[in-house]
Amino acid sequence: MTTRFAAPAELEEALALLAADAAARPVAGGTDLVVAARQGRKPLPESIVAIDRIPGLADVRVDPADGALVAGALTSHAWLASAPEVRDSWTALADAAAIIGAPATRSTGTLGGNLMNASPAADTVAPLVVLGATVSLRGRSASREVPAGDLATGPGRTVAVRGELLTAVRVPRPAARSGSAYVRLEYRRAMEIAVVGAAALVTLAGDGSAAVIAVARIALTAVAPTIVRAVRAEAALIGRPPDAAAAHAAGTAAAADAAPIDDIRASAEYRSAMLEVVVARTVAAAIARARGEAVAVPASRWAHGRAV
């Protein structure tokens, strides 16, 4: 098979190429693409459109109008993991970016690629879901905004149609007294894929001993065909004091929102059992951050071996 290759210098040129060639696939960092090809799991596309040099796709800013984080599709995981503004306000996203692959992967891999790869084990997606992110899909004649949680329709599949390119991700600034976290179960600390993962965002209301959880969002990684919201776990938190009992209640309830499978990495039974632990630890980290307590990034390292 002969692979066609193009490296457009402008966004409009890239969109034209994608619209004209049904086999064309956009590639940025290529971390998943290259690994899959080398392992024989998936051949290279017949037509590659390299978008890594297009101006503007790597731009990141905080919108002065509403404080939202607007990250171009080429924003690297390394930047997300280290940027002070992300670590302070969108902490779950920093947690996830900090544990993707190895340093080389984080430097090369992109936020847009992680989203469009549509893996149920993609680490950045669950944080984006609980943070209320939307993605911009742009074609030659129109663009649209899609909630991050609605982008993937199954493993390797998205709602993007031929000729559409993910150009940016918009992440609203969390409300005051909010904390977010992402924790995953992992067998090793580098080049790992989530066995089970969870992201949580909580917002507190009230002061001192009267504080309660007013808002709760939880999303689950690697326990369904796509990243899913744990609505029962969220409901178990609302109105409760922000304590260990609440975290445990969320963990117990989360099992009803998951549909894990058996695969080479873990059995469905093991994933279900570990989901309760991972969700409880994630919620505990989010609560601690909402209280203003120090929880190191990534939260997975903070939570490892910690009793909740």
Domain boundary among 27, 55, 83: 55
Give the whole-angstrom CA distance, residue 43 versus residue 166: 22
Q: What is the mean pLDDT of residues 157-166?
A: 96
pLDDT at residue 304, as a whole number: 67
134 is a domain residue:
no
CATH classification of the domain holding 47: 3.30.43.10
CATH classification of the domain holding 280: 3.30.390.50
In the predicted model, is pLDDT for residue 307 greater than 60?
no
Q: Choose among 137, 132, 113, 114: nearest CA to 124.
A: 114
218 is a domain residue:
yes
DSSP 109: -
9 is a domain residue:
yes
Give the whole-angstrom CA distance, residue 186 versus residue 245: 24
Per-residue tokens: 117: 């790869």
Grade residue 2 by pLDDT with cuts at 50, 70 and 90.
Answer: low
249 is a domain residue:
yes
In the predicted model, is pLDDT for residue 52 greater than 90?
yes
In the predicted model, is pLDDT for residue 39 greater than 80?
no
Grade residue 226 by pLDDT with cuts at 50, 70 and 90.
Answer: very high
pLDDT at residue 1, as a whole number: 55
190 is a domain residue:
yes
Name the strand (E) or helix (H) holding 61: strand 60-62
Domain boundary among 55, 76, 98: 55
What percentage of the chain has pLDDT greater than the value 90? 77
188 is a domain residue:
yes
Q: Please count the structural domains in the chain.
A: 2
pLDDT at residue 134, as a whole number: 98
Domain boundary among 11, 29, 55: 55
Grade residue 306 by pLDDT with cuts at 50, 70 and 90.
Answer: low
219 is a domain residue:
yes
Torsion angle, alpha carbons of 72, 75, 80, 86, to 10: -20
pLDDT at residue 158, as a whole number: 97
**Structural domain span for residue 16:** 1-55
Q: Which residues contact 45 (CB under 8 A, 6 or more apart)?
A: 3, 23, 24, 25, 27, 33
234 is a domain residue:
yes
